[in-house]
């Protein structure tokens, strides 16, 4: 397997692989261009996002600045909105459903590192995908950790740190995030 194939499969991989360095560089160039756009350059912003992301289904708004690793692992449903200063570390897939609202400073991390110090010291890393269902609202400065799946119709409170899967139809918050109550 190539290092990219290992990365996408969630296995330990070498992030310093030449192919991955080139792909991160491409993403950083697109992100840099996006983050320098003016509000009046909506069409140019949309083109940059289309060039960056894996798939976009329908309408979406992403307010710069925005940061990601590769971009092509990000898949967005219709009606998506992300406020300023979001970070999506997408070494594995990030799949976001329809009508998802993301507050400012939200961080989605698929990247992770080995718990064993010797393996971690080798520089190897891995990732776990994130899935977010339909009709989700993620409050500002929330963090969603590697491997988490969020159900449909979920509200994640501002500042929450989501470390485990979240069922549908709940409001969660805190660090680590826990269910506070059901929502209709």
CB 128 within 8 A of CB 110: yes
Beta-strand (E) ranges in the chain? 55-56, 60-62, 66-68, 74-76, 80-82, 86-89, 94-96, 101-102, 107-109, 111-112, 126-127, 130-132, 137-138, 143-144, 149-150, 155-156, 161-162, 170-174, 177-182
Of 43, 75, 84, 113, the active-site residue reads: 113
Residue 76's SS3 state is strand
Query: Is-cis flag, bond preceding 108, omega within 30?
Result: no
For this structure, is 113 an active site residue?
yes
Helix axes 18-35, 42-52, angle to 10 degrees: 170
Nearest to 136 by CA among 101, 95, 84: 101
Say which DSSP state 166 is in. B
Catalytically active residues are 113
């Amino acid at each position: 397997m190539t290092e990219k194939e290992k990365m996408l499969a969630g296995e330990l991989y070498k992030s310093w692989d030449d192919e991955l360095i080139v792909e991160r560089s491409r993403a950083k160039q697109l992100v840099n261009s996006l983050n320098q756009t003016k509000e009046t350059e909506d069409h140019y912003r949309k083109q940059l996002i289309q060039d960056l992301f894996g798939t976009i289904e329908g309408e979406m708004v992403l307010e710069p600045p925005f940061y990601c690793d590769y971009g092509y692992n990000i898949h967005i449903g219709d009606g998506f909105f992300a406020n300023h200063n979001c970070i999506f570390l997408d070494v594995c897939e990030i799949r976001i459903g329809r009508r998802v609202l993301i507050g400012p400073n939200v961080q989605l991390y698929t990247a992770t590192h080995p718990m064993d110090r010797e393996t971690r010291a080798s520089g190897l890393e891995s990732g776990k995908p994130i899935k977010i269902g339909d009709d989700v609202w993620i409050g500002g400065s929330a963090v969603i950790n590697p491997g988490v799946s969020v159900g449909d119709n979920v509200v994640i409170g501002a500042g929450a740190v989501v470390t485990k899967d979240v069922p549908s139809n709940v409001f969660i918050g805190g660090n680590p995030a826990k269910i506070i109550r059901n929502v209709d």
